[in-house]
Structure 1
Amino acid sequence: MKFLRIPELAPEAAIASNPAWEAHYNATKDIPEATPDDLDWADVVIFSIPSRFGTVPGQVKQFIDTCGGLWAQGKLVNKVVTAMTSAGNPHGGQEATIQSLYTNMHHWGAIVASPGYADPVQFTSGGNPYGVSVTVDQEGNMVEDVEEAAKSQTKRAVTIGTWIKAGMEG
C-alpha cells in the first residue's frame, strides 16, 4: 500500500488565505506526489478528495487528464477504484463529487467498488452508497466519525481488487 497526494496547483496566496488549507498543505507536503505511473502498477486506487462546488477539485481533474496515455493503451481497464470525499457542510456536494469522479472511472473501464450499503456502518457514520463523506469544520476537523465506514469501504475495494487480479491471472 502506498499513500500519495495529487500535486497542488493553487497559488501560495490562495492556500495562505485559508488557515485550514494551509495547515493541511504543510502537514502533507512531504507525502510523495502521484504520477500516472502509480495508476499503472496499482491494482486498487482509493481516491480521497475534497468537494469543490459539487465536483472534483481542479487538481484532481488535471491529474486525471494526465492519464490519457494510460487510458489510450488500455492500462486503466479493470483497475478497481473507490472514492471518499469531504466538504465544509453536510450537504456540500459530497455525493455529486464522488459521482463526477466515477464518471471518469467509467470512461477508463475501471471497476467502481462503491460501498453501497453492504455494511451497516454506512448507516451510522458518514455513509452513502457512493462513498464515505465527511463534513469538515472551518478549522479542518472532521465533524462525523467516519473511520469505521472508511475501513469498511477500503476493505471492500481491496477484496474486489484481489478477486479481479486472481481472476485475470487465472
Structure 2
Amino acid sequence: MRIGLYPGTFDPITLGHLDIIRRACRLVDRLVVGVAINDDKGPMFSLDERVAMVEAEFGGLTEKTGCELVAHPFDNLLIDCARDVGATLIVRGLRAVADFEYEYQMVGMNRVLDDSVETVFLMAEARHQAIASKLVKEIARLGGDVSSFVSPAVRDALSGKLDRV
C-alpha cells in the first residue's frame, strides 16, 4: 500500500488544500493529512477543531478517488510523523516561487534525516494559487466574503469563531 503524508496547519482548511488532497489521492492508496499542532503560529482554531474540519471535508472524497483519507494530528518532526504513519511520500503544495525556497530547504533537511521518504510538490490550480489560510482569516476578521476560498462548512466555522471573539 502506498501511503502519503500531506502536512499542514490547516487553520482553516481551504479549497487550495482540498485541491492538493484530491490530486494527491491519485498518487497514493492512503493519504494521511497531518494536522500540525504548531502553537507558534497562534492558530485561530484548536487542534481538535482543525482535525474535525479536515475530517468533515473528506466527505465523499474516498468514494470519488478510491483513496483512504485519514486526519492525523502531530507535533514532532515531519520526517518522524512520516515514519509514524508509514508514509514513504510527503506531499507538499506550492502556490508561488516564494513557497519553493522554504520547501526546497525542508526537503534537503528531510533527505538527510531519512532518504527513504520522497517529497513530491504539487502546484495548486491557478484559481487556488492565491489562497492562504492567513489571508482567509484576515478577510473573515474584517467582514469580507470568504466563500470563494473555503467550503460553506469552513466559512460557517470561521463566522462562528469570530462571533465568539
Question: Could you tell me the TM-score, scaled by structure 2's length?
Answer: 0.34
If asked which structure has higher relative contact order (CA below 8 Å, sep 6+), I would say 2
Q: When you count strand as a share of all residues, which structure comes out higher?
A: 2
TM-score, normalised with respect to structure 1: 0.33
